[in-house]
Structure 1
């Protein structure tokens, strides 16, 4: 696990520390760009993903095919509680739901589809295959930096980013993400948690508006994955489209080092600050 340069600041060892089953203390590494008291949505979504993965694994379901987060309120940097429920589990797939709470309030609701993994031999020639690769490999991509990096310890310290195509915060672009610190202290993050930490950044890296003058916050995130990701690096090839009534949509094609793995979408509320 690599670590971020601290610029003279004390940086926590992990995004969260487990205090009891389903309860977690948040660190400053989760801080987002919109309000210094609120988390970037990537880390808490990944935290809930971790809990859903554990519930699904108990039923022999190893692939997280879809994760949807409905973000009801800003996530405070504090104590969080995660509760997971199996809504229906069949032979090959299971539907799960989860709640994220803080300070006695429900902060976010989640649904997920987990599938049983089964080896499948595919024909050598399929339309649209082999699946596309990211524009550039992470080792061939230069470092990239969030415009809010360095102001406070936060998400920009939590992840390492490299530019595969375009320019961050200037429209369509592709960026590799790698976690610099554990999600939960004392354990390696899961492959799906690595995707979740990055996927919520699509609206940021492909922003077409100045974040100091406008808010373009997402109230949801849906990630669909066709297979289990591999490796530490996840690439988002993202673009933002804005409507004339304060709405918007950010879409990201997701890649690992082996190629295309799925898509992420975010519904945006666009306002002047």
Structure 2
């Protein structure tokens, strides 16, 4: 079952598996949908492979019927750039937008490069990591199996974002968790990311996506960053980065108020 059901003509209905931990949809699900639509057109438009996506989450996306609007910024030659924006159906105020960079591959002769060494992984040997949403209902994490390794978290997406989703859109969901995997503090503040950028060195092999994360928070500013190396079972496939905005948890109301 896909995470978003097609309604035709760039209209979509999110399933419960698209939900975030609080209100609205998970950013990784939203970015995956917008990128998947671009990847779906890449073959017929001769854009090449999607090598990078930058998403901005402009406001919470509610659980309801949605529409997307695709705009080609640059087309032709070696590189194409395509924007895709998400709206609530019947509303002209955007919820999120993504800019996807695509490139046609071309053989290039290079001098011998340094050997980075081989790196193989077996995520199945690590323990399963489960996490419930604050609302107690199904959410995006339920669409995947998560396991915690020594220095990386591993995700196996069990449901496609949409039918026929491409490699980059498949990576965005796991990558969106980067800033939360290596949080400096737990249960102190919420740390939403208003954006996320993923760059792929190559498409992932197999279904497992790993994130080797780093997170930094700057005291006194309410700001931070998250970044990480993206992996599959055969080694490095790319990088992810995002800004982080720290939001204090609401203080409980005094007793008797």
Please, what TM-score do these two structures have when normalized by structure 1? 0.83
What is the aligned partner in structure 2 of residue 158 from structure 1? Answer: 143
Q: Deviations over 1:59-85 (max 9, x none)?
A: 323321110001100121111111111
Q: Is the 8 A contact 1:133 1:255 kept in 2?
A: no
Structure 2: any 5+ residue segments left out of the alignment? 250-257
Partner of 1:10: none
Residues 61 and 117, structure 1, Cα contact 8 Å, conserved in 2: no
Q: Residues 150, 272 of structure 1: CA spacing in aligned structure 2 closer, same or farther, 3 A cutoff?
A: closer
Aligned partners of 1:262 and 1:115: how far apart in 2?
15
Determine helix, strand or coil for the equivalent of 2:7. strand
Q: Does 1:178 find its partner at 2:156?
A: yes
Q: CA deviation at 1:141?
A: 2.3
In structure 2, the partner of 1:200 is 176
Q: In 2, Cα distance between the equivalents of 1:148 and 1:120?
A: 47
Instruction: Indicate how the Cα distance of structure 1 residues 144 and 199 shifts in structure 2: closer, same or farther if over 3 A, else same.
Output: same
RMSD of equivalent CA atoms? 2.1
- 1:19 alignment partner in structure 2: 7
- Which residue of structure 2 aligns with residue 224 of structure 1? 199
Partner Cα distance (1:121, 1:142) in 2: 43
Gaps of 5+ in 1: 1-12, 166-172
Determine helix, strand or coil for the equivalent of 1:50. Answer: helix
Q: Specify the alignment match of 2:255 in structure 1.
A: none
Q: Does 1:127 align with 2:81?
A: no
Out of 108, 115, 125, the residue aligned to residue 140 of structure 1 is: 125
Query: Aligned with 1:153: secondary structure?
Result: coil
Where does residue 190 of structure 2 map in the other structure? 215
TM-score by length of 2: 0.88
- C-alpha distance 140-63 of structure 1, shift in aligned 2 (>3 A): same
Residue range with higher mean Cα deviation, 50-59 or 247-256: 50-59
Q: Distance in 2 between matches of 1:126 and 1:150?
A: 50
Match of 1:6 in 2: none
For residue 241 of structure 1, report the CA deviation from its aligned partner: 0.3
Separation in 2, partners of 1:248, 1:217: 10
Counterpart for residue 243 of structure 1: 218
**Match for residue 231 of structure 2 among 226, 232, 255:** 255
2-side partners of 1:133 and 1:70: how far apart? Answer: 32
Aligned residues: 246
Shift of 1:264: 0.5
